[in-house]
Amino acid sequence: MSPPLPPYTPARGLRGGHAMTIFASLARVYPRPRARRERWELPDGDFVDVDRYAASGVGAAHRPVLVVCHGLEGSSRAPYVRGLVAAGLARGLDALALNFRGCSGEPNRLPRFYHSGDTGDLHEVVTRLAAERPGRPIVLAGFSLGGNVVVKYVGERGESLAPEVRAAAGISVPFDLLRSARALDAPGFWNRVYRERFLRRLREKALAKARRFPGAFDVARVRAAASFAEYDAALTAPLHGFASAEDYWWRCSSARFLPGVRRPLLAIAAIDDPIVPGDTLPVEEARANPLVTLEATQAGGHVAFVSGWPFWPDFWAERRAIEFLDAALRE
């Protein structure tokens, strides 16, 4: 058994949540474990692409599997996903990295997209893995949007969650989607950089979708959307059955589902996260459920948690998540 991971110490020279977040996003060198791409058909006629990884050592029938969900406009090949997969493989876990619909490099078939509260595809993945090898332990992990999906899924399923699912972890989870949307839409240079980076990709996908499905949504509103409030009101809400952007944010915020969690759950957060404000963390909800562990560090940024030196970095949150999940599997 590996020795306990020491508490998080921020990397020297990366001061503030923005510096940490941007470094982790742009300057990261990451492992490239060998993956096998599979396309899984879904009951509604659409598909998801998944990348599967096999650990070495113990026979495949006995290896637990780690399921990883990426963040907004990420993919299974995002550096943080591969970093977590590599950490899991080193602990003897197989892994599966899920691409949300339209995020694998090929457009999905239906007018709909993915969103922060869409747990249906994760449920399909869990169901299929459980059917492959009944009783094989499964652990879940997600980053940012994917973390919200994981936490919501575990909480909303409660006692009905597949018994194969033993534990879950979320890193930089936007527990309150309204507050996170407002943080991204707030004035400021870096907020504008984050906002436009995400919205540019989302608008491009939406406009390509509109050419395939004329009339599915108001193209002019989507093209003009300059904030998450405008984008979610123009596309996410109407396309996925929500009354408004506010209705979508409220119904899909994972903090609401923490009381229903019935498996060990670790949530890793940073107080200086520029996208998930520290005062939005569900401290009381976590305290009220003994199965929920909320670890909030003073520094760490968003999906970053860089430690060591910038020229020789380590990514603490991924190792901490694997440590937690591995310990839950051994109980």
The residues assigned a catalytic role are 144, 273, 302
Report the candidate in 288, 225, 297 with the shortest Cα–Cα distance to residue 257. Answer: 288
CB 48 within 8 A of CB 101: yes
Q: Token pair of 45, please? A: 């006629």
What would the 3-class secondary structure string for the chain be?
CCCCCCCCCCCCCCCCHHHHHHHHHHCCCCCCCCCEEEEEECCCCCEEEEEEECCCCCCHHHCCEEEEECCCCCCCCCHHHHHHHHHHHHCCCEEEEECCCCCCCCCCCCCCCCCCCCCHHHHHHHHHHHHHCCCCCEEEEEECHHHHHHHHHHHHHHHHCCCCEEEEEEECCCCCHHHHHHHHHCCCHHHHHHHHHHHHHHHHHHHHHHHHCCCCCCHHHHHHCCCHHHHHHHHHHHHCCCCCHHHHHHHHCHHHHHHHCCCCEEEEEECCCCCCCHHHCCHHHHHHCCCEEEEEECCCCCCCCEEEECCEEEEHHHHHHHHHHHHHHHC
Give the alpha-carbon dihedral of 17, 6, 257, 159, to 10 degrees: 160
CA gap 71, 79 in Å, rounded: 11
Q: Is beta strand 306-309 parallel, antiparallel or unpaired with respect to 312-315? A: antiparallel
